[in-house]
């Protein structure tokens, strides 16, 4: 409805997959699947639950009467119990055994962990796609000289591909961190009101082994191989903080890449994709603003800031639990995932079709080559019998004079100034022979090739058909 607020992540930025994954339907159907799994495990371990009851629960997983839920929640002011009530209405023979021995966090927390796990797996695919696109770009331009910058001032040449390899390396670091988070992600299980499992000791007549088996069965049903060793009523909120820190790290990588492209687009060395019918400005028809990169940076700032929510929540959980985490988590974590998804989709669209204006790149680097080459020129002049200290002074004096002329709008005439110095002993033509930018990029191409060989096994199965945001 257009007369109600709608999150921009749903309206403009995030993928259909991620929107569906964090939808209310997915959340509440997962709750019901968790109740089914609990009932199955309890029956298997000897509690008086029938196959018919389980079959009825299974048949009604997707039949959620939201009107019934809403009406019941207004009455009891408890969302989980409202859903238990509605599920019991849909599966009346099983109404008495739904949620047996459990507390609300059994469904809320475990469902979150399932959704977060699936979201991380999807984010990983997007990260691989971005990395693969950057790797292809780096391979293509691994030996293309370009002006390097330190402090955003001209410095020694690098290559276009080496710079892309630096970006890709950040994303590889994010993939490694994501794999660590996934590897250490655990299930809450069904642990009772304060994590003591006291209700299940009662149900299973004090048999602790059956409780452990029940939790292992439920965890396995949802693809987890272990539960937290100890917990309160909730799973430790440090898990959320770890996840959000990862998403922040991804945002940082995207921000860095997009910012570098924005800086280079200022001089038209690189350009993000620009549609044939795209309008850059409502007033200045000639404009080609880097709006995709700007959008990446804008959203990345939001995600980096959003990560602090999880840190504050983890630090503020009193004893076995407090409920001041709930409303915050309900907003901050889904929005964080949707934002990461949006940023990666934007970044993939940018780097997958990034344009290099090679003549402008070449002109920029050659414009500074006389200054960049002065050390080599110094060495050559010394080899011809010159005095190193005297020559250094000549280069400094001539460089300052040439820069002064350039500041007044003139051309760089450093070589002709050096050639006019008798002590230098070289003609301008002789100096020009060592001004090839490719002679000054060091091991850039070799470093890029080595990096690409290293990450090849990681990105070999990267998908290329992810939905991209069209501008």
Q: Any idea what DSSP says for residue 93? A: G
Q: pLDDT category, 441, cuts 50, 70, 90?
A: very high
Which residue would you say has higher pLDDT here, 279 or 455? 455
Range scoring the smallest mean pLDDT among 123-127, 230-234, 302-306, 367-371: 367-371
Q: Find residue 187's DSSP bridge partners.
A: 227
How far is residue 123's CA from residue 340's CA, in Å, rounded to a whole number? Answer: 8
User: Predicted confidence band at 380 (pLDDT cuts at 50, 70, 90)?
Assistant: confident
- Work out the pLDDT band at 471, boundaries 50, 70, 90: very low
Percentages (nearest 5) of helix, strand, coil residues in the chain:
65, 5, 30
Displacement of CA 419 from its chain's centroid (Å):
53
Domain ranges of the chain: 8-94, 105-143+158-189+229-275+283-357, 374-434
281 is catalytic: yes
User: Is 151 part of the annotated catalytic residue set?
Assistant: yes
Instruction: Name, in order, each residue with C-beta under 8 angstroms of 15's C-beta and a sequence gap of 6 or more.
Output: 341, 342, 345, 466, 467
Least confident segment among 224-238, 249-263, 281-295, 448-462:
281-295
pLDDT category of residue 354 using cuts at 50, 70 and 90: very high
Lowest mean pLDDT across 197-211, 253-267, 361-375: 361-375
CA atoms within 13 A on the CB side of 42: 27
Query: In the predicted model, is pLDDT for residue 282 greater than 80?
Result: no
Which ranges of 184-322 does DSSP label H, i.e. alpha helix? 198-203, 208-221, 238-266, 291-315
pLDDT at 432: 83
Q: With 90 as the cut, is the pLDDT of residue 96 above it?
A: yes
Span 153-165, average pLDDT: 94
**Mean pLDDT across the chain:** 91
Q: What is the spatial distance between Cα 173 and Cα 458, in angstroms, rounded to a whole number?
A: 12
pLDDT at 469: 44
For residue 376, pLDDT over 50 is answered with yes
- Is pLDDT above 50 for 470? no
Query: In this predicted structure, what is the pLDDT of residue 48?
Result: 94
Which residue has better confidence, 3 or 302? 302
Could you name the CATH architecture of 8-94?
A: Orthogonal Bundle (1.10)
What pLDDT does residue 275 have? 62
Instruction: Tally the residues of the chain.
Output: 471
Are 8-94 and 105-143+158-189+229-275+283-357 in the same CATH fold?
Answer: no
Tell which residue, 317, 259, 318, 266, has the closest CA to residue 287: 266
pLDDT tens by residue, 35-94: 999 999 999 999 999 999 999 999 999 999 999 999 999 999 999 999 999 999 999 999
As a whole number, mean pLDDT of residues 423-439 equals: 85
Place of tokens 């005439």: 413
Q: Which of 281, 298, 315, 427 is catalytic?
A: 281
Between 241 and 328, the higher pLDDT residue:
241
Q: Cα separations (Å) of 357 from 251, 270, 300?
A: 27, 6, 27
Q: Span 21-39, mean pLDDT? A: 97
Q: Above pLDDT 70, what percent of the chain?
A: 95
**Per-residue model confidence (pLDDT) at position 462:** 82
The predicted-structure confidence for 449-468, as pLDDT tens digits, reads as follows 999 999 999 998 887 555 54
Q: Topology of 105-143+158-189+229-275+283-357 in CATH?
A: Fumarase C; Chain A, domain 2 (1.20.200)
pLDDT digits (tens, 9 = 90+) for 317-331: 899 888 888 888 999
Higher pLDDT, 385 or 283: 385
- For the segment 15-22, the average pLDDT, to the nearest whole number, is 95
**374-434 under CATH 3.30.70, yes or no:** no
**Predicted pLDDT at 381:** 87
């Amino acid at each position: 409805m257009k007369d109600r607020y709608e999150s921009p992540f749903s309206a403009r930025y995030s993928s259909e997959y991620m929107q569906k994954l964090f939808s209310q339907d997915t959340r509440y159907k997962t709750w019901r699947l968790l109740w089914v799994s609990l009932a199955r495990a309890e029956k298997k371990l000897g509690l008086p639950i029938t196959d018919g009851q389980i079959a009825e629960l299974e048949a009604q997983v997707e039949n959620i009467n939201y009107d019934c839920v809403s009406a019941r929640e207004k009455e009891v002011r408890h969302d989980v119990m409202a859903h238990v009530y509605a599920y019991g209405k849909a599966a009346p023979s099983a109404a008495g055994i739904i949620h047996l021995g459990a507390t609300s966090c059994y469904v809320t927390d475990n469902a979150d962990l399932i959704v977060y796990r699936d979201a991380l797996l999807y984010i990983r695919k997007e990260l691989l796609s971005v990395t693969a696109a950057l790797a292809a770009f780096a391979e293509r331009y691994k030996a293309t000289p370009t002006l390097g910058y330190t402090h955003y001032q001209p410095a020694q040449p690098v290559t276009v591909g080496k710079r892309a390899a630096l970006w890709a390396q950040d994303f590889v670091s994010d993939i490694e961190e994501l794999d660590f988070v996934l590897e250490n992600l655990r299930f809450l299980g069904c642990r009772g009101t304060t994590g003591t499992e006291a209700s299940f000791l009662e149900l299973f007549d004090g048999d602790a082994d059956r409780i452990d088996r029940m939790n292992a069965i439920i965890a396995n049903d949802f693809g987890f191989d272990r539960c937290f060793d100890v917990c309160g009523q909730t799973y430790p909120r440090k898990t959320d903080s770890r996840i959000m820190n990862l998403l922040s790290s991804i945002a940082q990588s995207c921000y860095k890449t997009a910012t570098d492209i924005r800086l280079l687009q200022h001089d038209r060395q690189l350009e993000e994709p620009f549609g044939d019918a795209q309008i850059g400005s409502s007033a200045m028809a000639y404009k080609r603003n880097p709006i995709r990169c700007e959008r990446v940076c804008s959203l990345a700032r939001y995600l980096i800031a959003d990560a602090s929510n999880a840190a504050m929540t983890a630090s503020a959980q009193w004893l076995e639990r407090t409920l001041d985490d709930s409303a915050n988590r309900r907003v901050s974590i889904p929005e964080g995932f949707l934002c990461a998804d949006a940023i990666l989709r934007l970044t993939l669209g940018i780097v997958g079709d990034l344009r290099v204006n090679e003549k402008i790149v070449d002109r920029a680097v050659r414009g500074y080559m006389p200054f960049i080459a002065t050390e080599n020129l110094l060495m050559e002049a010394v080899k011809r019998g010159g005095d190193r200290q005297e020559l250094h002074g000549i280069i400094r004096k001539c460089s300052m004079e040439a820069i002064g002329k350039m500041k007044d709008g003139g051309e760089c005439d450093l070589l002709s100034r050096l050639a006019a110095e008798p002590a230098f002993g070289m003609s301008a033509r002789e100096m020009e022979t060592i001004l090839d930018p490719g002679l000054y990029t060091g091991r850039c191409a070799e470093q890029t090739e080595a990096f690409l060989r290293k990450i090849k096994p990681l990105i070999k199965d990267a998908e290329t058909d992810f939905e991209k945001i069209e501008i």
